[in-house]
Every structure is written in C-alpha cells, then in structure tokens.
Amino acid sequence: MATTPDTPSFHFARRLKAVSDRDVDALRANFLDLAERFDASTLGEHTLFPLQMTWFYGEPVWHELSREKQLMLNRLSFCQSYLTTAVAEIATNVLNLQASLDTIVDDDPDLALYMAREVVEETMHVQAFLCLIRKVVAHYGLTLEQLRGANVSLPMASWYVRAHTAVGWLRGDLNFYYFTRYALNVNQKTVERCSINEPDMHPLVRTILKNHAIDEARHMQMSRGTGLVALSRMRTSAARTVACLGYALFASNVFIGRHLKDSRLTRTARTRTLELCGVPRERAVLAYRQWHERTNQPEDPPLVRAGRAYYLRCNNGYIDDLPVGAWVKQRMKRIIAQGYSDVARGDDTAIAPLEFDELRRAS
C-alpha cells in the first residue's frame, strides 16, 4: 500500500500504537495469568454468557432442562462463542502478518509494527480463551475435541483467509481485507459487552472479558480507520462499489441470534451442542427447527433484539462515513437490513438501545 502525497494515511494508528506500547508489558497478567487462576469448581450459579443470548433460551427445550443443564448450556454457549472467536483471531493474525510484511516494505514501518503487535495481542487472547474453555468443558467431563467436533463452522475461518489471500494476490494489496474487518469486530463487541454486563457473570471471567474488550475496542478503531482508508485507496469507483456491495453482503450474514437465512453450519453446531447437554438427537433437531422458524417465540428475547439493533446501527454509522456515493450507501444499508429485517424498521420502542460505558482495567 504505497503512499503518495494525495492518498489518505494511517496516521491515526500512531495513537493506537502508543496505547498498545503502554499496555504490552502487562499482556500476560491481564489474560493468561487470570485464565490459569480460574477454577471451574467456583462456577456455582454463575453464568458465562448473557442469559438471554444462551442458545435456545426461552424455548420449550430450555424449560425441559434442569437448572444445572441450563447453566451447562449457557456455559457451552460461551465456550462455542469464544472458540469461534479464538479461531477467527488466528485467521486475522495470518492476514495481519501478511499486511505487516507488505507495509514494512512499501509503507510506514511504525504502522507495520502495530499490525504485528495486534498479532501478539490476539495470540495471548487465544491462549487465555483456550485455557478457560478447556477448564469449563472438563468440568462437565467433556474435551476440547468434543467441543470442536460440535462446532462445524470453524473451518470457515480458513476459507476466509484463503479468499482474502487470493483477492490480495490478484490485486497486489489487502485493501479488501482491511475493509471487511469491521463487521466481525462489531459482532464480537456486541456479545462481549453484554456478557460483561450480565449480573451473574463469574467475576474472574468478567475481568478477562473486560480486558479483552478494552484491547478489541482499539482493534475495532483500527478496523474502522483502515477500512475507510483502504476504500479511498481503491483506484476506481467500480472497485469501490464492488467492495461496498461485497461488504454489505458479508455483514448481512454475520448474525446475532436468529437469522432469516438458515445455515447447515449453524444448525449442526447448535444441535450438537444441545446434544452435549444430554438432549437426544431427535429432540435437538426439532428444537432447532422450532427455534429457527420462531414457532414458540415469534420475537427474540429483548437483549438479543437490542444486540441485533446495535449491530445494524454500528454498520449504518460506518457506511455513512464511507467515501462513496449516496446510492451506494443506500444500497449497502438495504442489503444489510434484509438480514436484520426484524429490527431494521427501528419501531421497536419496547427495547432500550444498547449503550456501553467506557471500560477500565482493574488496578
């Protein structure tokens, strides 16, 4: 991404790097040390995931479960969510390192170092999450291999890397990668901040998630800023239009809660996770179908609806700032709204919009 006097720059990343430089020495203390201290025997009645976002919450199958099994499903929902997050962070590490290599050769070396620093931070996050996940599943007599076996969507991360690598090779840059990171950040932030605010969250896990959210807030700023710059550096309006429509299609399929489109990967992962809680396969398959088709709950729980509305709002704000024509922005918003039609109208006055306070690390 060679810079000329007329192209936008990544100057904002210097501020992000300064914050990272300040915190990097405490990286292990803020994550892996805490995860290693976590003792699953202290779980008690604590949740690890927003109760209303727990898979199958409020469905008949949820009420058929004992209190202990409901807590197990909540905790396995956490494990599956953060296993997916860990795999996604490894995928972004691959692309970040390639971007760092290209940048140190052709652009700003300090920016390249910050991109590489994100890889260091994400790797520590992954270590901490895998440590937590192993302890939680072991508490239920399960293994990481069983959890991975249930989460059949994990290989999609490899396809994400391959696709961006191929496009980057054809174009000679990773602008399309920069441009699409933001949707993933918003999705992850929404669920994580709701987890942090969950009243019965295990206190040690809450601290780890707060520390993660603080790092990811900076990464999200990087994604937003690099996305805007990367789009502006695409040479033709046709390339920018294709990138924008591609982003909208991608963002419309990144979901929180129930999505209009069914997916074999989602269906299988949720059904198999319910089976890990002792639900017979036939009952789990029926439970998923009833959940997806909104047979018993036409509307999502309030927190899920608020999360979906927040995701849509953040994406619309990102779109508003893109250096493209009004018709492209309108088309992008319509595409994303098709996946979020239940909240796109904006007339759900019964649901309070999500507002998140600034987080600070525990002293």
CATH (domain of 76): 1.10.620.20
Q: Say how far apart CA 233 and CA 1 lie, in whole Å.
A: 8
pLDDT computed for residue 350 by the predictor: 62
Per the document, the length of the chain is: 363
Is residue 351 situated within a structural domain? no
pLDDT computed for residue 5 by the predictor: 41
Q: Say how far apart CA 161 and CA 99 lie, in whole Å.
A: 12
Parent domain of 109 = 17-344
Residue 148: alpha-carbon gap to chain centroid: 18
Is residue 179 situated within a structural domain? yes
For residue 201, the cross-strand partners are 47
**What pTM does this model have?**
0.92
Is residue 193 situated within a structural domain? yes
Is residue 217 situated within a structural domain? yes
Return the number of other C-beta atoms located less than 10 Å from residue 304's C-beta.
Answer: 25
Is residue 330 situated within a structural domain? yes
Q: Say how far apart CA 132 and CA 205 lie, in whole Å.
A: 8
Number of domains in the chain: 1
Is residue 4 situated within a structural domain? no
**How do the pLDDT tens digits run along the chain, 363 residues long?**
444 444 566 778 888 989 999 999 999 999 999 999 999 999 999 999 999 999 999 999 999 999 999 999 999 999 999 999 999 999 999 999 998 898 888 888 888 888 899 999 999 999 999 999 999 999 999 999 999 999 998 998 999 999 989 988 888 888 888 888 899 999 999 999 999 999 999 999 999 999 999 999 999 999 898 888 889 888 889 999 999 999 999 999 888 888 777 788 889 999 999 999 999 999 999 999 999 999 999 989 999 999 999 999 999 999 999 999 999 999 999 999 999 988 887 766 667 788 888 888 875
Among 265, 263, 257, 270, smallest CA distance to 300 is for: 257
